[in-house]
Amino acid sequence: MAGLNRDTPIPVGVVIHSKSRLLELQYDNNVSYRVPFELLRVCSPSAEVRGHGPGQETLQTGKRQVTITALEGVGNYALQPTFSDGHNTGLYSWDLLYDLATRQNEHWREYFDKLDAAGVDRDAPMPEKSASHGCH
């Protein structure tokens, strides 16, 4: 997990939009970003997704319809969502959330490139065991 960078903006508001499956991050400069739940889930900072070292990432699939069922603050530095697929071990620091929010197109491109390279469909169910690449 990335540490809290002193220059990273901290949201003044966080809104879960369940129907559209978006997490809205509101900042004090009247700017807000809406991050799709799917992007948050496939780029989870958890060991389950990222692995415990290089080459141990697990490519996430079948997450287009995932929702956030609970959202907890962790100290003054992160959020911990619980997703409808049961995943709840990712701690999303403010800097990771800001990066996902402001660089969504790059994260999507990286994810789709990894799906293509693995020859896997975005909506395919997750295999029992996988050693493919996750999001960085």
pLDDT for position 5: 72
Other CB atoms within 10 Å distance of the CB of residue 23: 24
Report helix, strand or coil for 124. coil
pLDDT for position 7: 83
CATH says 13-118 is which class? alpha beta
Question: Quick one: how far is CA 130 from the chain centroid?
Answer: 19
pLDDT for position 49: 84
pLDDT for position 31: 95
Q: Mean pLDDT, 10 residues at a time, over the chain (136 residues)?
A: 70 96 96 98 88 82 97 94 95 96 97 95 80 50
pLDDT for position 26: 97
pLDDT for position 2: 43
